Chain A
């Protein structure tokens, strides 16, 4: 009797709630409070900030190159029909509204980047006495560059945004108000200047793709030109001149080599977003995890069967405006795929929505780079060139002209770009420079913002539905206005 009660007592005591039994720590994942303690972890935090640059899908497909090409007069939306990517169609024909358009994806992507950069900068503060200051300075400079990069997109796409420079406490999450865009530009400027001071001029080969001083300077110059503040054009010309005269950059001899995927990170590339097939990604539910580029899949001819290219989805058929503008230009063959010529050589493809039989060539899905692992669609190893030397040449030329600076240098810069493809000299007027940007940088995602910043948008895009003082910027996503209960105010939509 006594013995059994004893046994029972043991059983009950042993199985009763012991606190440690319920206190478990997860495996395979770190707690935020314990992370960011050493160089490896801090660097992994930095990689997560870089990661956002390569996202192609964050609340809808928002790959900047095809999307901005669609928004400009260079291409139509395409796809299977108008309901395939309604956000692209809305940007293409300016039927944007607070619900429809690419705004949510762009908003979320760039603010995610801002959050990760802010968080990393805070975490660095916590370990700055423990870790190598040289290492931390460089990481910090990269994080600031990236924060500036994301804010530059936000201010270009939305103009009126909240300015967040730290990770938010729960009480602060719903009451962030939009700020004067100049405050955003000010932060971008401060961040880029800090980055310029620290970032290396070039990186060793195993670090290819990490940010450089030239990238920060180029972005700074591009930002000043986008602001179109004539009082600072000389400053813009000066900072771009540093890039354009840097020993690490040189125009490629052959225009066709610029977008040859074999030729990644060449001397003309200043800011390049890298992609790879290595992840062999297959998760359609989290496309951003792939590190591949999904844009080539979009722009390839649908169901294509023939040489050179792999089947795509038929988005962004080139507009006849661009085809006509480029007729006779030596860059045509490197910019535009002529579908009719392919058909003559025996290839077949499905003509999809808004078909023109002309397709984007610069990021086309070339069969030779088709992924052999994972989903082909998600794993195109084709990098995005965000800024290249021809762009900064033309930007410096423009800044020189606008600031009344050295006209002969402006001419030289313009003509370096023209001569490279065998075209004769022209005088660097604003008009000529913009025309050159149109053709030299066609379908690379610069045209829409060029039209907006120079005020040409209503003339060029008006026939497509563009309304001045409205479509320069996107609507603030309605979800964001709803969730903040109106703290965020809508743009002119």
Chain B
């Protein structure tokens, strides 16, 4: 930079000297250079007083005749700021064109190669390292949230290290909809939490099938390509990034205190004609604040990353070390995540034509976790539902010497007092603090992802590449269940220690041959390749009972316990994929673009009848802005139309589904003393014709740059998934489960819009990026026999709460419709069917009025219908960045709109469970409310014991996800310390969330998608961070 400005001033000085002595007006000689590289710039369009006046030649030079002083010259070039100059008396002038950031000349990674963004004809979104640097996240997928259109990221919970549900253009299949992750060419098994964010150079998301279909049978759910960093030639840099953060819940629920609770319970008893449960309400006071006992308002998080990048003539290196540790905001002792990452990437030029390189990453993760969204006793679910009257710790000797506290296995505080046991709320709703001491679980994982490649240029333009990659992982869990007594139904009289270890090895060998040439204006790139991969692994696990320890840290499988107290189990998995693929990219004058790919995959997961699948794609683009008829000075600088159609597959099914296998575990007991004998029978009926799920997708899109500072991408797509794997229903009298067959179909349609703005205004550099996506998901066929597939259930009654039903979105909410509350007996009596029968004879004033959908005069399961959708109608996000002098500010917000959340945080099957303060708005008399039914213990109208839209809430939210303010210390100061760059920043995560949702957090991903069973909320965190460059 310094050198460039020096050169510039020299040029200007030189020219000024030349021109002052000119007498007659010769033609003006213009020279165009790239402001940063100083390379000559061809094809710069020149306007003289608004009229076309030619363009620069290959050497960046142009001559303008008949120039006068004060003439207005305007210069434009794709990807550069518009420049203008008022002519003076100079005869030569050099124009340094300032490149626009985010421009079309960027290179994006496509499968097995790279392509200029301007020439891409498929739907690919890309994120570069610079965009990630200011946004620390633990898991790489979270950095995509709100950043890219068409990708919906829903964090499954706020537990440290919790994965996110990633859906590229909606739910593609009723099976496994997770996208394919490829890191440096290696397919990743399991999640990508092993990646250190600072190691990432770019992330590309292949959204349409044409982009993904080069990955054939694995591409239907979208492909996320991650490329890690490399060293740069001639430059050595050392970087340190670190932060410390403190986290707290951003919201606590307003639960009833003991007095309010007792009041409502008394009311419920009275409504069921029972006497007062709590005669002296006032004496109960506030009671126990269980949330306080379980939440941590100062949970720590820390991150340190150190990297070295270096490059010489022949070799480059990038190496890094990262350490990350996070405490959870819920039950911190049992909810933690720690990660250590190491990386070594290098490239070596062996000769002019041969390059060798490798990428090696090692990651170690240790974590402990609690249940995050479960009615079966996650700590938060317990804290919400347990009554506030039960004390945290029972200190009253009159009580703790009596049952149940006299049980020898009771859990006690270090001080020797027993933890309180609720006599009011039972089942899984235990004292959450006591229960945390009865389950110690550690998850561990060691993972190495590595690849090595060789690139050889055989002839000019003809390149061969061979790449070998591997993902070797060791992971498992250790669990210790001590002896305990928590309540009558939750106790253990013998301890148990379990350790499960897994080993997985995935390897991949790919060879590609590519040829690139340009003949006149025709440019060709042809690629052909082969790929073979194998994925194998095993599990071994053991458990010992009744060992002489009380803590996990002392537990061992080595204790010599009797055979009957030992258990051992394990298993293996294995699958292979072998593929041929090719791609043809053609462009004419860089204006007309055409691309086609085909991949043929063979998989061990399918039988000989359908072992191979072929996945074609075709896409085309037209860069209108390069046409001569496209007026060069219009508000539009770049315009490309593109369209694609392709088929991709999904082979994410269990191994050997096509084979008729027998399985054990159909056991029976014989003998005295009794012994279990192994029984074996066929697992299910078999289907040798099993084949791939296929997703075809049509995509029409447009990329545009306009008004110099804006760029936008618009995409519309329609994708259809067919042959989805589903069990073929057979009558139960057949006696075994039906085979897996290719049956179901679904569709997704959507619209995506990305808009960016970049401009330097005075000393402020401003950049704004926004995106908006819609998605419409619809199940179209589930087989001749099925109208729906069952989905999520709730509680011990197994209430159906979601369904995947034809004509509706995947996993839609299912239940009765309500129509307000009966305000008086007359309303109950007047609610009649067409024959004059009272529809809800058991209802009382204050009960919910259910809609008799089928008109049969009774309310039952046949009146249930689809009542809501957990998938948002649209999602959006924006990032605003501003730089002024040494300060920088970034605001990132993200939101979803039009989805429902089912609020099931209260265990309605336990009538004595606590309520939130919202229940204080219950119906208490005619006209009191039409929202919340009356209190009742017996609940004869089943207000609370069946799924209905009473439990649905609007799950829309907008979240200020990140605000960051940074300050770069002046170099004059840092230079003295040998530091190139020193930046400090403060940051807040999840600072503000705007939502009408009444639970902890409207963002509910994972297995319990859209159903709040007391979700572990995401923390609000405040960071203090430091970036150093040497």
Residue contact A274 to B731, C-beta cutoff 8 Å: no
Cβ contacts under 8 Å, A84 to chain B: 796-797
The residue among B493, B731, B939 with the most chain A CB atoms within 10 A of its own CB is B731
Q: In the bound complex, how far is the Cα of B736 from the Cα of A119, in angstroms?
A: 11
Q: Which of B651-688 touch A at CB < 8 Å?
A: 655-656, 659-672, 674-683, 685-686
Q: Which residue of B lies closest to A487 (CB)?
A: B731
CB < 8 Å: which of B493, B567, B665 contacts A289? B665
Question: Interface readout for A1-43 with B: 1 if CB under 8 Å, 0 if not?
Answer: 1001100100110011110011110111111110100000101
Residue contact B680 to A44, C-beta cutoff 8 Å: yes
Shortest CB–CB separation between residue B533 and chain A, in angstroms? 10
Cβ contacts under 8 Å, A24 to chain B: 574-576, 604, 655-656
Given contacts A278-B674, A373-B545, A483-B785, whether A51 and B679 have CB atoms under 8 Å apart is yes
Residue contact A173 to B730, C-beta cutoff 8 Å: yes
Shortest CB–CB separation between residue B602 and chain A, in angstroms? 5
Q: Which residue of A lies closest to B680 (CB)?
A: A44
Q: Which residue of B lies closest to A207 (CB)?
A: B670
Q: Does A369 count as interface, using CB distance less than 8 angstroms?
A: no
Residue contact A483 to B731, C-beta cutoff 8 Å: yes
The residue among B669, B685, B909 with the most chain A CB atoms within 10 A of its own CB is B669
Shortest CB–CB separation between residue A81 and chain B, in angstroms? 6
Q: Which residue of B lies closest to A33 (CB)?
A: B660
Q: In the bound complex, how far is the Cα of B729 from the Cα of A454, in angstroms?
A: 39
Given contacts A24-B604, A35-B662, whether A114 and B735 have CB atoms under 8 Å apart is yes
Question: Interface readout for A468-493 with B: 1 if CB under 8 Å, 0 if not?
Answer: 00000000010110111000100000
Pick out which of these stretches binds chain A: B312-320, B508-516, B874-882.
B508-516
Q: In the bound complex, how far is the Cα of B580 from the Cα of A48, in angstroms?
A: 45
Q: Does B789 count as interface, using CB distance less than 8 angstroms?
A: no
Q: Does A155 count as interface, using CB distance less than 8 angstroms?
A: no
Q: Does A321 count as interface, using CB distance less than 8 angstroms?
A: no
Cβ contacts under 8 Å, A104 to chain B: 732
Q: Does A205 count as interface, using CB distance less than 8 angstroms?
A: yes
Residue contact B655 to A305, C-beta cutoff 8 Å: no
Q: Does A315 count as interface, using CB distance less than 8 angstroms?
A: no
Q: In the bound complex, how far is the Cα of B659 from the Cα of A350, in angstroms?
A: 50
Q: Which of A316-346 touch B at CB < 8 Å?
A: 346
Question: Interface readout for A293-333 with B: 1 if CB under 8 Å, 0 if not?
Answer: 00000000001110000110000000000000000000000
Q: In the bound complex, how far is the Cα of B407 from the Cα of A310, in angstroms?
A: 14
Cβ contacts under 8 Å, A231 to chain B: none
Cβ contacts under 8 Å, B683 to chain A: 29
| Number of A-B residue pairs having CB atoms within 8 Å of each other in the complex | 248
Residue contact B662 to A22, C-beta cutoff 8 Å: no
Residue contact B676 to A205, C-beta cutoff 8 Å: no
Cβ contacts under 8 Å, A22 to chain B: 576-578, 602-604, 611
Cβ contacts under 8 Å, A1 to chain B: 458
Cβ contacts under 8 Å, A12 to chain B: 511, 513, 530
Q: Which of A373-410 touch B at CB < 8 Å?
A: 373, 376, 381
Cβ contacts under 8 Å, A32 to chain B: 660-662, 682, 686
Shortest CB–CB separation between residue A269 and chain B, in angstroms? 12
Q: Does B1 count as interface, using CB distance less than 8 angstroms?
A: no
CB < 8 Å: which of B571, B785, B945 contacts A81? B945
Residue contact B666 to A51, C-beta cutoff 8 Å: yes
Residue contact B672 to A265, C-beta cutoff 8 Å: yes
Q: Does A202 count as interface, using CB distance less than 8 angstroms?
A: no
Q: Does A45 count as interface, using CB distance less than 8 angstroms?
A: yes
Q: In the bound complex, how far is the Cα of B600 from the Cα of A81, in angstroms?
A: 57
Q: Which of B611-656 touch A at CB < 8 Å?
A: 611-612, 655-656
Cβ contacts under 8 Å, A15 to chain B: 509-511, 530-532, 578
The residue among A22, A114, A206, A484 with the most chain B CB atoms within 10 A of its own CB is A22
Residue contact A50 to B668, C-beta cutoff 8 Å: yes
Q: Does A168 count as interface, using CB distance less than 8 angstroms?
A: yes
Q: Does A182 count as interface, using CB distance less than 8 angstroms?
A: no
Residue contact A303 to B732, C-beta cutoff 8 Å: no
Given contacts A30-B661, A47-B678, whether A21 and B532 have CB atoms under 8 Å apart is yes
Q: Does A264 count as interface, using CB distance less than 8 angstroms?
A: yes
Shortest CB–CB separation between residue B801 and chain A, in angstroms? 14
Q: Which residue of B lies closest to A265 (CB)?
A: B672
Shortest CB–CB separation between residue A281 and chain B, in angstroms? 10
Residue contact B578 to A16, C-beta cutoff 8 Å: yes
Q: Which residue of A lies closest to B608 (CB)?
A: A23
Residue contact B489 to A26, C-beta cutoff 8 Å: no
Q: Does B760 count as interface, using CB distance less than 8 angstroms?
A: no
Shortest CB–CB separation between residue A39 and chain B, in angstroms? 13
Shortest CB–CB separation between residue A69 and chain B, in angstroms? 21
Residue contact B680 to A279, C-beta cutoff 8 Å: no
Residue contact B676 to A21, C-beta cutoff 8 Å: no
Cβ contacts under 8 Å, B660 to chain A: 31-33
Q: Which of A198-233 touch B at CB < 8 Å?
A: 205-210
Q: In the bound complex, how far is the Cα of B122 from the Cα of A250, in angstroms?
A: 83
Q: Does A447 count as interface, using CB distance less than 8 angstroms?
A: no
Given contacts A274-B670, A482-B785, A483-B729, whether A26 and B659 have CB atoms under 8 Å apart is yes
Q: Does B98 count as interface, using CB distance less than 8 angstroms?
A: no
Q: Does B221 count as interface, using CB distance less than 8 angstroms?
A: no
CB < 8 Å: which of A11, A48, A174 contacts B681? A48
Q: Which residue of A lies closest to B611 (CB)?
A: A22
Cβ contacts under 8 Å, A206 to chain B: 670-672, 675
Q: Does B572 count as interface, using CB distance less than 8 angstroms?
A: yes
Cβ contacts under 8 Å, B519 to chain A: none
Residue contact B672 to A205, C-beta cutoff 8 Å: yes
Q: Which residue of A lies closest to B860 (CB)?
A: A100
Cβ contacts under 8 Å, B921 to chain A: none
Q: Which residue of A lies closest to B488 (CB)?
A: A311
Q: Does A186 count as interface, using CB distance less than 8 angstroms?
A: no
The residue among A48, A161, A373 with the most chain B CB atoms within 10 A of its own CB is A48
Residue contact A480 to B733, C-beta cutoff 8 Å: yes
Residue contact A303 to B731, C-beta cutoff 8 Å: no
CB < 8 Å: which of A111, A274, A304 contacts B488? A304
CB < 8 Å: which of B403, B510, B669 contacts A275? B669
Q: Which residue of B lies closest to A161 (CB)?
A: B733
Given contacts A4-B456, A81-B939, A278-B675, whether A11 and B466 have CB atoms under 8 Å apart is yes
CB < 8 Å: which of A23, A44, A116 contacts B678? A44
Shortest CB–CB separation between residue B856 and chain A, in angstroms? 12
Q: In the bound complex, how far is the Cα of B672 from the Cα of A348, in angstroms?
A: 36
CB < 8 Å: which of A8, A47, A50, A176 contacts B464? A8
CB < 8 Å: which of B404, B488, B667 contacts A47? B667
Q: Which residue of A lies closest to B483 (CB)?
A: A372
Q: In the bound complex, how far is the Cα of B734 from the Cα of A112, in angstroms?
A: 7
Q: Does A462 count as interface, using CB distance less than 8 angstroms?
A: no
Residue contact B680 to A112, C-beta cutoff 8 Å: no
Q: Does B496 count as interface, using CB distance less than 8 angstroms?
A: yes
Cβ contacts under 8 Å, A107 to chain B: 732-733
CB < 8 Å: which of B574, B578, B669 contacts A291? B669
Cβ contacts under 8 Å, A31 to chain B: 659-662
Q: Which residue of A lies closest to B601 (CB)?
A: A17
Q: Does A99 count as interface, using CB distance less than 8 angstroms?
A: yes
Residue contact B734 to A111, C-beta cutoff 8 Å: yes
Shortest CB–CB separation between residue B418 and chain A, in angstroms? 15
CB < 8 Å: which of A26, A35, A373 contacts B496? A373
Q: Which of B346-389 touch A at CB < 8 Å?
A: none
Shortest CB–CB separation between residue B499 and chain A, in angstroms? 16
Q: Which residue of A lies closest to B910 (CB)?
A: A80
Q: In the bound complex, how far is the Cα of B678 from the Cα of A17, in angstroms?
A: 40
Q: Does A108 count as interface, using CB distance less than 8 angstroms?
A: yes
Q: Which residue of B lies closest to A290 (CB)?
A: B667
Q: Which of B920-957 touch A at CB < 8 Å?
A: 938-939, 942, 945-946
Chosen A-B contacts, 16 in total, with CB atoms closer than 8 Å, are A4-B456, A8-B458, A11-B466, A17-B579, A24-B656, A28-B572, A32-B661, A35-B680, A43-B677, A44-B677, A47-B677, A84-B797, A116-B735, A168-B734, A291-B668, A303-B426
8 further contact pairs, Cβ within 8 A, besides A114-B735, A173-B731: A8-B513, A17-B600, A17-B612, A21-B576, A32-B686, A52-B666, A80-B796, A170-B685
